[in-house]
Chain A
């Protein structure tokens, strides 16, 4: 069979168009019913943040820390070098370096201060993560970790100026006292940190530490909502943030 160049080009052109029909139809049809939905009873916010009343924390109280670590299967390695922590106490001078007043005899600067991941608006850990295992949620600003993607390179630990990230140098499972079956554990070789109880917010619950605090020293809420408790608190009270000069815009505020 003889085919002129003109006829061949025509057939080739029509075939190309034909081959493009199915992907085009699929792309148009993709706007149909979604296969996944957000939970209807979740708490909705645009910028989750936390305020800590330092003076309300009783000496030696660990209710919030225990509640968090129990909820999230945080292991308790005896060796301090291996320590994994989501929320913990730190001396005032280490939390706010350069902010101490040597003549102050007693007061909020004396006792330990509760610290956790600051869920920075401009998070350095997200910038340095090579696998996008650490990412910032666009809808509410939570700095999240996808443990499935973490390769354990620890760039984020170097990037975080607050030491809010811990590496699992060993298998954490034998070091978890009672495993909460509703939350996964981590495995050896991944970094972990506070997730602002993202899984509880999705169920319409406040973070575990806020719920556990009997002194109401922790206030959690949406800073973009002018009616929220935390927004009103921050409007009226002087607050400190950790290392604000670094430009990370921490979202944990300390009421001194």
Chain B
């Protein structure tokens, strides 16, 4: 084989460059801590979201899409969770009713993960009024 050394060295450089974003980001991109200590949550007798935390973290967007279709297109207003408890399907009232810290709860994680949901161009954040 010709130039084995050069080829291997080139491959090594190529792989290093290819994976450089991972090396660069290692250690400095810890996921943001999501504070769930809002006054509204403190007042709850049982501090639990409507579904389990891993499910909400991974699938809240699918749940919200399901809520959107149910409310707008099927005229349903209540969500029944795995325990049989009923909740009004409302992003700005039910979700933000407890998670009243939208900037620190929603926005930090969306910024971290590079997600740009367009919920807030129409849905009103309570208290903020005009945003």
Spell out A's residues near B (CB within 8 Å): 33-39, 42, 73, 135, 137, 139, 144, 146-148, 173-174, 179-187, 198, 202
Contact = CB atoms under 8 A, between A and B. Distances in A.
Interface string B61-99: 000001110101111111110001010010011000000
B6 interface: no
Q: Which of B89, B92, B124, B129 gathers the greatest number of chain A CB atoms within 10 Å?
A: B124
A178 to B, nearest CB: 8
A17 to B, nearest CB: 31
Contacts of A198: 75
B76 A37 contact: yes
B123 A184 contact: yes
B24 to A, nearest CB: 37
Interface of B: 66-68, 70, 72-80, 84, 86, 89, 92-93, 118, 121-124, 126, 129-130
B121 A187 contact: yes
A42 B77 CA distance: 10
A185 B124 contact: yes
B92 A35 contact: no
25 contacts: A33-B84, A36-B66, A36-B76, A36-B79, A36-B80, A38-B76, A38-B78, A39-B78, A42-B77, A73-B124, A135-B73, A139-B75, A144-B73, A146-B72, A148-B72, A179-B129, A181-B124, A181-B126, A182-B93, A183-B124, A184-B122, A184-B124, A187-B121, A202-B75, A202-B77
